[in-house]
């Protein structure tokens, strides 16, 4: 499995997004998915304290017992876990890291990410306490999520001397949702950050499993976000599928290959609810598009 860098961390180019665990997948199902991921060579697991109402972290803590060192473990803080557990104030950051460490049954977080900007707290204050956590050995690297290019720059400018700084940004990016390409991804390139795209398969639309005119199946991630996929979106999916087929590839291979053909993309974190989905994702990550193919995709969209 090819690896890329997130700061000092080596991660597999396909990661496992853990937001389904504890919500759509119970502990036994989570274990099956994690086992399949590790067997397939995935080394990067990305969760958050809010996923599954904290159950994602708890499940992972039990499932990774005895093999914690096999993975680069990332989690996030800042979104509302409870009315008194939210934000990026220094006091709460210390409480949040303690809670995550306990649930994950580990002594350190490899990549600790601020889940979203907190307009109530100066970013310098948050970075200062994150630097303390790095110096204390509780965190190896720090990152951010849902940060624009401007917010990335403000965070970089707030760091003095050799203090810890964000090494990554995790934002939404896919063939169907490209708006961050000119903002967050361009900012990552300018600010020297690894870029981690989430929702790389557009909540499953880019797997080809949805049909025009049919509502998403109840219980799927797509049904959680929208009532239906528009005809315009299906038109683009059809165009992407033809593009891939003409070159001997699948739509899924194009979804992964397009993202991984961006220099600053470190790992594509795809969620899974079944082991076969993990295996399909891993098998689809080998294609790297040429400059001409990237330009052709830009023309299609």
Show the domain range for 253. Answer: 3-300
Query: What's residue 112's pLDDT?
Result: 99
Total domains in the chain come to 1
Which CATH number goes with the domain that contains 226?
3.20.20.100
Q: 257-295, pLDDT tens digit by residue?
A: 999 999 999 999 999 999 999 999 999 999 999 999 999
What was the pLDDT predicted at 212?
66
Predicted TM-score (pTM) of the model is 0.94
Beta-ladder partners of 114: 77, 144
* Mean pLDDT score of the chain: 94
Looking at residue 227, its pLDDT comes to 54
User: b/e for 58-67, b at 16 or more Cβ within 10 A?
Assistant: bbbbebbeee
pLDDT computed for residue 215 by the predictor: 63
Residues of the chain with pLDDT under 70: 212-228
- The reported pLDDT for the residue numbered 159 is 96
List the one residue out of 158, 121, 162, 127 whose CA is nearest residue 143: 127
Q: How confident is the model at residue 223, as a pLDDT?
A: 46
Query: Catalytic one among 51, 112, 195, 198?
Result: 51
- Residue 210 known to be catalytic: no
């Amino acid at each position: 499995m090819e690896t890329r860098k997130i700061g000092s961390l080596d991660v597999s180019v396909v990661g496992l997004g853990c937001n389904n665990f504890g919500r759509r997948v119970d502990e036994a199902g989570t274990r099956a998915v994690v086992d399949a991921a590790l067997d397939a060579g995935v080394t990067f697991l990305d969760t958050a304290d809010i996923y599954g109402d904290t159950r994602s972290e708890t499940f992972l803590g039990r499932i990774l017992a005895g093999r914690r060192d096999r993975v680069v473990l990332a989690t996030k803080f800042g979104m509302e876990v409870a009315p008194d557990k939210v934000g990026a104030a220094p006091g709460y950051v210390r409480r949040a890291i303690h809670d995550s460490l306990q649930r994950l049954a580990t002594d350190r977080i490899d990549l600790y990410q601020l889940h979203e900007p907190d307009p109530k707290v100066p970013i310098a204050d948050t970075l200062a306490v994150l630097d303390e956590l790095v110096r204390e050995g509780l965190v190896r690297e720090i990152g951010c999520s849902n940060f624009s290019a401007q917010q990335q720059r403000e965070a970089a400018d707030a760091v003095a001397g050799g203090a810890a700084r964000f090494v990554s940004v995790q934002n939404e990016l896919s063939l169907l949702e490209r708006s961050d390409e000119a903002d967050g991804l361009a900012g990552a390139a300018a600010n020297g950050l690894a870029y981690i795209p989430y929702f790389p398969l557009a909540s499953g639309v880019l797997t080809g499993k949805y049909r025009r005119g049919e509502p998403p199946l109840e219980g799927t991630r797509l049904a959680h976000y929208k009532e239906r996929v528009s005809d315009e979106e299906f038109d683009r999916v059809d165009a992407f599928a033809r593009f891939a087929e003409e070159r001997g590839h699948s739509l899924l291979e194009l979804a992964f290959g397009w993202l991984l053909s961006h220099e600053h993309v470190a790992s594509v974190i795809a969620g899974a609810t079944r082991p076969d989905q993990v295996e399909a994702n891993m098998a689809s990550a080998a294609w790297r598009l040429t400059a001409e193919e990237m330009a052709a995709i830009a023309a299609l969209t």
